[in-house]
Each structure stands twice: as structure tokens, then as C-alpha cells.
Structure 1
Amino acid sequence: MTDSPASLAALEARVRHDLLTLNWRARPWLPPRTHAGQPVVDVLIIGAGQAGLAASMALAQQGIAAVLLDRAPRDHEGPWATTARMDTLRSPKELTGPALGVPSLTFRAWFEAQWGAAAWEALDKIPRLQWMDYLRWYRRVTEADVRNEHEVLAVHPRTNGLVEVDVRSPVGAATWWARRVVLATGRDGLGGPQIPPFMDGLPPAARGRLWAHSSDVFDYRTLAGKRVGVVGMGSSAMDSAGTALECGAASVDLIARRAAMPTVNKSKGSGVPGLTQGHHGLPDAWKWRIRHYINATQVPPPRGSTLRVSRHTHAHFHFGCAVQQVAQVGDALHVATSQGTFAFDFLVLATGFAIDWAQKPEFAPFAHQVRLWGERHVPAPGEEDRELFDSPDLGPTFEFREKTPGACPGLAHIHCFCYPAALSHGTVSGDIPAISDGARRLASGIAGLLYAEDVEHHFAALQAYAEPELLGDEWTPADTAQRILPPT
């Protein structure tokens, strides 16, 4: 390719041709179903971010049409244009993300079609909002069936092989029926922000006025001229601190319990194809040991994100400051730590996410039935880990398993294709590096499960199949007596 930008329209024509030559949208083969007079969706995906889009595209390759529900307005699915605050993605630009092995679907192809090869070579990391633009394009060219502003209120696994999903949309409330439901609900897929106990003494009204979690939708421009504290020293902490500083904060103090900043991203060291493909088959002890080691060593923030903060003279990094209590004093917060008390006009908690079913009331109908890893595996001494304990114990197609066998027969029709699947399957259900691998695993597994459920139908179709290969005029029967030896 030359350095002259190619046409995006030409790339889209290439995508169409690639998908045609790959026979990507395979012939539909599932028998249509109805229930209570309503059509049954074969696969209903909750969430239309990059994981949901990749899952939908992988299912299309298997001849399975999916419908995606997302509560966000169109073009605002996922965190990229809402709560994410990094300047650029943390992943290397060369990673192919949800392209599923189709070169014309990669970010690089999309980028070069508009700005050329020279601009690609000059690019360091992918700008966050540009990645969102790419996902919007990906949705359009893959013809994903996304229903925006559709909020899922409740998910009910039923004993008839279907899942009932209560949904609210701009046109009102409705009940959807699906054979399989995929939860592509992101980093906080089975919970939400982790709010430490030291915040318990603050009134509910203080949230948004005096403090916020780093994942909250919040206008950082309101922090201009304020003393801002950030609890945490990871990637989200740097993103929040950098945004506050760029929005005119008078000062930003980052407070960390850890004694020193980690400098090595151990999770990068695990990113080999063998682990991507083999993690699910490892013995329980190895799965736990690997994931716990990555959690315990902690992932450092990217160098660029850290420099974004440290270039400001009024940014301050504090280590060995375990937060003990946060109290409201007038219009400020006093944050007591192991090294003394800070006074802030606003506090940002960059404290990560928790698997906490209470924060996902839509899953309440089945949450108490899900088997957790803490009920499956007893870790070695020193490897105790709350996140891993709370992680769901998933089957080979990301399906939930019952805590008590037989207590919730339809539970296995719900598939957890979001971050909490990491202990069971590795990081293949949300992060950019291996999202295509996870989507293919999910789609091929669902195809097999649906076939097994309908095996009687497919066998009857096999028996009834009568399209002739030969019409009977392709040959003339020989006179065998003229071709054999005479009898002796």
C-alpha cells in the first residue's frame, strides 16, 4: 500500500468480498421456534461493546443469528466514550482485537484506509476515542443486530430450555425469549465498583458531590481549582489523576497502600498462545496459581499514563499510605491514612471492581444458584484471593454451573462472556489481545450445544433430505452377460 490514504468505501467493499469468499454468514440451519406466540431468539447477547460484537460476528460464521441488547444510546456502548479516561489504549497497536482473523476487519486496515501506511508507522498507541470510532465502524460493516436503549431488568432461566429476559426500552416493557443468553457485560460484568469499607461513614448524597469511583460517569471539569485525592496507583488512578490535572485541579495527591510502584506487568508475560488456548484445560491449582500471581504482583500503570500525571508539578505520589477512614468535614473530606490525614475537596476511588451480584439486580433470579470457584477449589496457603473465590465456575462454553445439581436446570443456557470468566478460561472474554479466540470458542461451543438439543430435528431432516445428486441419465446400464467369461 502506498502512503496515500485509500478509500474507506474501498475497504468496506473488501470486507464484503472477504466475508463472501469465506462464506462467513453460513446458511441458517436452526429450526425457528416460538413461545407463547412470540419468536424465540437463538442467541441473545446482553452488551454490544467489543466482546458482544465479536461474539455476534463469530456466531454469524456458524450460521447463528444473534440479537444484541445494550442500554446505552447508539455509538456509546462500552466504556470508551463514557467512563474511560486514558489518552490511548494500553494494548500494542498491532493486536487485531475482534477481527476474528479477517485482515480487512482489523483496526490497522480501517486506519490505513483513511490515513495511509505512513501514518500507521508513525502511530505509537491507538487513541481511545479512535478505537471507539473503529468499533462503530465494525458494528456497521458486520451488520450486527444491536438494539440500543434496551435495558435488561431480569434474566430468568427456565426448565423448558429457554431463558426469559425482561427488557425496558423507549417503547415500553417487553419479555424476550432466547435459547441461549450471553452476558457480554464488560469489566464489571457480575458486579460493579469496589467501594472500600473506609467510605461507609459518608452519606449517600456525598457521591458525585464529594467523591466518585473512577468508573462513574462524571464531569472532571468540575474539579477545576480543587484539591483532589486519588486512592490507588494503577492504570485507572493515573487516568483519573491526569484528567483532573488537565481539567485544572489545584493539586492531585495519589495515595497508595503499597510501599512502592510495581514496574513489571506480569500479565504481559503470560500472553502466549499456549496459555490462551490451554488455560481452560489446566488443573485447578494451576489456574488459581497463575491468576493469583498476576493479581498479587499487581499490574503497573503504563509509562505514558504515569508521565501524563508526573509532568505536572502539583501532582504528588504517596506510597505506604493505607487509608483508614474518610470523614466529611464541612465541604471537604478528611482522609486518614497510616501516615497522617489529608484534606481534599474531592476524592476519586480507583479501587477496581468486585464480583458482587447485589450490584447486578437483573441477575438476581439465578445469582444464588451459580457455583463459585471458592466452592470448587481450596487454594494453597498464601494463595487466598477474594476475587478468585467469587469467580464463577464455568463450563467449556462459558456456561454457568449449578451450585446444587438439579436446582436450576436452565442455568447452563446462560454464558458468562465477560471479565469474571478469566479464572475458568483465561483472559479471552473482554481484553483486546485474545477477544477473537474467546469469541470463536463461545460460538463453536454454542453451535454444538444447539445441534445436540435439536438432534431429533436434524436427524429427521437428514432422513427427509431428497435433493438428488444424479438424475439417472448420466449412465447406461451395461449388458453384463456380454462382458463376463462364458460358463465352463
Structure 2
Amino acid sequence: MTNAADGLAALEAQLQQDLEYLELPAKSWVPARTQDGAPVRDVVVIGAGMCGLAALAKLQLTGISNVVAYDAAPAGLEGPWVTFARMETLRSPKTLHGPALGMAQLTFRAWFTAQWGKEAWQELDKIPKAQWMDYLIWYRKVLNLPVRNNVRVTIITFEGELIALDLSGAETGRIYTRRLVLATGRSGLGGFAVPDFLQGIDRKFWAHSADDIDFAALQGKRIAVIGAGASSMDNAATALENGAGAVDLLIRRPQMPRINKMTGIGSQGVVHGMYQLPDAWKWKFVDYTATTQTPPPRSSTLRVSRHANARFFLNCGIKAVKQQAEGLLIETTQGALRYDFLIAATGFSNDFHGRPEFAAIAPHIRSWRDGRYQPEMGAPRANLLEAPDLGPAFEFRELTPGACPGLAHIHCFNDAAMLTHGKVSGDIPAVSAGVDRLVRGISASLFAEDVEQHYANLQAFDTPELQGDEWVDSTPLLNQENAQ
């Protein structure tokens, strides 16, 4: 056995001892239910990336044990890290505790140091993205989290008080759950945000930055990349490193964004206080950071600019894209440009009406557009207006009260929750705080829903602590003394 393996085994033993000392996982306490003779899950999590795993772990540690997560990806390919995330390293500082749930032995730092030592940790700059995926695979394994891979949830409906899920892939059929957590990452409730000028353009000429792009096929080609964010840089760099003939970044802004505003004010106050702010302040914070824009990492930008065949076109808005026989003619504010292929690093949308699995619930979901936003807050930014209006445990709220009461049992623990809850359900820094908020809410609602059963259990509990031989009743002696 290697030293790395020895170190990891010792870390795992320490983690198990810590869990034992903390009496974790807590004893199961949710009464079992069945539907048509089949067991009903307490909670189902859709998605087994970082947020899904953290939610699953926190649920089990809290004593909600009848849980499972489904992910459409094969094991080890969940989330973006080794699929469409094309950066070399994470942006987040290596010291952040991420999904560790307050346990030192569960941090990336502990995992890394156990295998390669403190000196290697000091030499590490940023975490390589594939190594972060290795850590998440270990996280799942060491906590023995119940994840089912290669399974897609195709339909979400209601049957009475229960949520019904239709499955396809490695598992098929219908299952039932009392609560549902959507840990669907950056794609949130919608999917790719595609600009209008790409509507109708043959997909052989363009891809979204989150697509599975065959970069080898772009060798020698003229490539346009839309955007100035991290994903635009990472996709441009990947194309260049795979032999693209030329890569142009078409950037609408007159200047590159340079300052990461939210990182500058990051604190536990932001983590715990953002949700408590009045709506006008929430909108103000998110609208301002969207206006100023988050810059791409310096390393990602240098990864592009070091190539002589890379160009940055600033103040270059796109007016139209025209498909031609051999490529694209892009009309911009800087003139007409011709390319063989275009990559749209245009982010994601919260428009849940385009997802077939959400078809039954989408008409009932209340968004910020539906009364929470007020004109005096600022400009009606479209991507904020379509954000879901969520409750304190990330639960959806009904557009029409009483029309879909089961909606409150579906929790939106993904990037779409940011406007309501702050950045606690998508990024590494505050995910542990986010899952704590989520699971506290789920625990409280499940307990309240089963309150009659819990009260019946209280009444039925009859295990005595005292056996009756611990004392002598002195009342007869007192009566005798009084009689004298």
C-alpha cells in the first residue's frame, strides 16, 4: 500500500470516529410510508453533482435516511467538472471548505494533505478541476451516499400528497417521494440561453459553451466565441490548444470587466444575511453585479492571449448571424466577419417552460415577475424576472394560491435560487450553509406533516427509566407521625 493510500485510510478512520463522537448520522425518525404497496421515499434529489451530494449527505446525517439521488450521467461524470467545464483549475481558493458540512476531515484540504502531505499543499496554487472531481468521488464513497447513475427523471407529477417521478435509463417506472430537491446546477430550471440571432442557424455551424464540442474537428478553422466571461475564455483556449486556425472573442462591452465585486465583499454576513434582505436590496445587489459583470480569471484570459492567432474584439455587438454554404457571416457593430464555427458562451436561462420534465409544474411556479419585482427596484432585467420566487427552504411558491399545493414540497436547490437566497446553492464557497438551510426546512416540514404520528409515538412510549426500587415511599411513616 502506498503512502498516499495509507494517509487516506487514516483520514477516513478519523472521519468515522468524528462522526461517531458527533452521533452522526442521527437515528432515522421519519415514519415510513407506502403507495400501492411500494415504499415511498422521504426525499429524492435530482442531480449528484456537488450540490446534490452535499444535500444527500446533510439529509442522511440529519436522520432522514430514506433518500436517493438520481443523475443522468455515468458515475464520475456528474456535474460540469470533467465534461463542459473547460478551465484548467477551479476559480475558488483552495482553502474553502465547500461541501464539508462543518467537518474538517471532509474538506478538500484534508483529502489532499492526507495523500500528498503539507508541503505539497503549500505548493498547490489552484485546484485542478479533475482533482476536484476526484475529491467529490471520494466524498460520495466515504459517506456511502445512495446515488443512482444513468437514470433520468422524465416526468414530475403529483398523486395526492405525494410527488410521482417517472424514470428512464438504468431504472425505469414510477416512484414516489414526499419531497423533491432539484440540484440541477448551472442549468437550473431551464437550459442554454441562446441569443435570438442564432435561432434557425444549423447546429453544425455553432455550439453552446456547455455542449459536448468536438474541438479536434475545429482544427484549422476560423472560430468566433461570444462573450467575455470565464466560459468564453475556457472554450476559446481549448479551441486554440486543439489547433484552431484563428479564434476571435466578440465582446459587446467596450471594456473587459476587471473586478470581481461579490468576491470583494464575501463574508458570513453575505452568506446568511442576503436571504433576509428586503426584495429591493436583493435585486439591487444582483442587478449591480450583473451590470458590472464578473471578470474571467486572469489565468484563463492569459491562456487565450498567449496564442498569436487569438484576437479580442471589444465594443463588438452582434447585429445578425447569416448562414452561408461554408460558414457564417456575422454582422457586428465593428463590421462584417466570417467564420467557420461559432461558440456561444451565453450562459443559462431560468425559463422552466422549455423542460418537458417540468411541464406539469411549470405553469404553477411563481417567479419574481409575478409581483415580487416592483419597477422602483430598477431596470426589469429579463433573467432576474424569470427567477423563481422561493420560500425559506428553497421551496417553490404557487402562482395561484391553492392551484398546486404540492409545489411547496419541491425545493429549487440550484443556480436559479440565487436572487431569492444568495449564492448558497451553486458555488463552492457557501454550499454547506445552503444545504443546512435546505435540510432544516425539509426536516421541519416533514415533522409538522407527521405531527399526529409523532404525538402518538410520544403517548405510546413506555420504556421506564425508573424500575420502582430506587426509593421508599415515606408517606405511611408521615401519616403515622401525624397521628401521634
Following the alignment from structure 1 to structure 2, what is the Cα–Cα distance between the partners of residues 164 and 144?
22
Following the alignment from structure 2 to structure 1, what is the Cα–Cα distance between the partners of residues 290 and 5?
43
* 1:457 correspondence with 2:453: yes
Following the alignment from structure 1 to structure 2, what is the Cα–Cα distance between the partners of residues 24 and 110?
20
8 A contact 2:230–2:295 mirrored in 1: yes
CA distances 1:392-441 after superposition (whole Å, capped 9, x unpaired): 00011110000000111111110000001011111111110000000011
Indicate the residue corresponding to 1:241 in structure 2.
236
CA distances 1:126-150 after superposition (whole Å, capped 9, x unpaired): 0000000100000001111001111
Indicate the residue corresponding to 1:431 in structure 2.
427
8 A contact 1:201–1:327 mirrored in 2: no
Listed as ranges, the matches of 1:74-473 within 5 Å are 74-158=75-159, 160-171=160-171, 173-202=172-201, 206-207=202-203, 209-375=204-370, 376-380=372-376, 382-473=378-469
> 1:278 Cα deviation (Å)?
1.5
Following the alignment from structure 1 to structure 2, what is the Cα–Cα distance between the partners of residues 120 and 6?
17
8 A contact 1:161–1:413 mirrored in 2: no
Following the alignment from structure 1 to structure 2, what is the Cα–Cα distance between the partners of residues 455 and 120?
49
Following the alignment from structure 2 to structure 1, what is the Cα–Cα distance between the partners of residues 31 and 475?
47
> 1:170 Cα deviation (Å)?
2.6
> 1:6 Cα deviation (Å)?
5.7
> 1:218 Cα deviation (Å)?
1.4
8 A contact 2:284–2:377 mirrored in 1: no
Label 1:368 to 1:301 Cα distance change in 2 as closer, same or farther (>3 A).
Answer: same
For the residue of structure 2 that corresponds to 1:308, the secondary structure is helix
> 1:309 Cα deviation (Å)?
0.7
> 1:224 Cα deviation (Å)?
1.3
Among all aligned residue pairs of Structure 1 and Structure 2, give the percentage whose two residues are the same amino acid: 52
Label 1:381 to 1:27 Cα distance change in 2 as closer, same or farther (>3 A).
Answer: closer
2:427 aligned partner, one-letter code? D
CA distances 1:84-134 after superposition (whole Å, capped 9, x unpaired): 100000101111110001111100011111111111101110000000010
Label 1:475 to 1:391 Cα distance change in 2 as closer, same or farther (>3 A).
Answer: same
Following the alignment from structure 1 to structure 2, what is the Cα–Cα distance between the partners of residues 49 and 36?
32
For the residue of structure 2 that corresponds to 1:365, the secondary structure is coil
Q: Which moved more, 1:375-384 or 1:41-50?
A: 375-384
How big is the alpha-carbon RMSD for the aligned residues of Structure 1 and Structure 2? 1.7
Following the alignment from structure 1 to structure 2, what is the Cα–Cα distance between the partners of residues 457 and 479?
39
Indicate the residue corresponding to 1:45 in structure 2.
45
Following the alignment from structure 2 to structure 1, what is the Cα–Cα distance between the partners of residues 170 and 448?
37
Label 1:394 to 1:474 Cα distance change in 2 as closer, same or farther (>3 A).
Answer: same
Instruction: With the length of structure 1 as denominator, give the TM-score of the two structures.
Output: 0.95
CA distances 1:224-259 after superposition (whole Å, capped 9, x unpaired): 111111011110000001111111111110001101
Label 1:217 to 1:484 Cα distance change in 2 as closer, same or farther (>3 A).
Answer: farther
Following the alignment from structure 1 to structure 2, what is the Cα–Cα distance between the partners of residues 482 and 389?
77
Q: Which moved more, 1:477-486 or 1:79-88?
A: 477-486
> 1:486 Cα deviation (Å)?
5.9
CA distances 1:57-110 after superposition (whole Å, capped 9, x unpaired): 111121002200111111111111111100000101111110001111100011
Following the alignment from structure 1 to structure 2, what is the Cα–Cα distance between the partners of residues 381 and 478?
74
Following the alignment from structure 1 to structure 2, what is the Cα–Cα distance between the partners of residues 381 and 371?
19
CA distances 1:280-326 after superposition (whole Å, capped 9, x unpaired): 21111111111111111100001111111111111100101101111
Q: Which moved more, 1:220-229 or 1:435-444?
A: 220-229
* 1:60 correspondence with 2:60: yes
1:110 aligned partner, one-letter code? W
Following the alignment from structure 1 to structure 2, what is the Cα–Cα distance between the partners of residues 132 and 43?
25
Which runs of 5 or more structure 2 residues have no equivalent in the other structure? none
8 A contact 2:71–2:152 mirrored in 1: yes
Indicate the residue corresponding to 1:22 in structure 2.
22
2:362 aligned partner, one-letter code? A
Following the alignment from structure 1 to structure 2, what is the Cα–Cα distance between the partners of residues 379 and 444?
34
Label 1:333 to 1:483 Cα distance change in 2 as closer, same or farther (>3 A).
Answer: same
8 A contact 1:252–1:314 mirrored in 2: yes
CA distances 1:356-389 after superposition (whole Å, capped 9, x unpaired): 2243210110101001111122142643211110
1:73 aligned partner, one-letter code? P
Label 1:199 to 1:4 Cα distance change in 2 as closer, same or farther (>3 A).
Answer: closer
1:199 aligned partner, one-letter code? L
Label 1:482 to 1:409 Cα distance change in 2 as closer, same or farther (>3 A).
Answer: closer
2:374 aligned partner, one-letter code? V
Following the alignment from structure 1 to structure 2, what is the Cα–Cα distance between the partners of residues 383 and 91?
30
Following the alignment from structure 2 to structure 1, what is the Cα–Cα distance between the partners of residues 325 and 177?
52
Instruction: With the length of structure 2 as denominator, give the TM-score of the two structures.
Output: 0.96
Indicate the residue corresponding to 1:477 in structure 2.
473
For the residue of structure 2 that corresponds to 1:42, the secondary structure is strand
Which runs of 5 or more structure 1 residues have no equivalent in the other structure? none
8 A contact 2:283–2:377 mirrored in 1: no
> 1:482 Cα deviation (Å)?
6.0
How many equivalent residue pairs? 480
8 A contact 2:26–2:61 mirrored in 1: yes
> 1:355 Cα deviation (Å)?
1.1
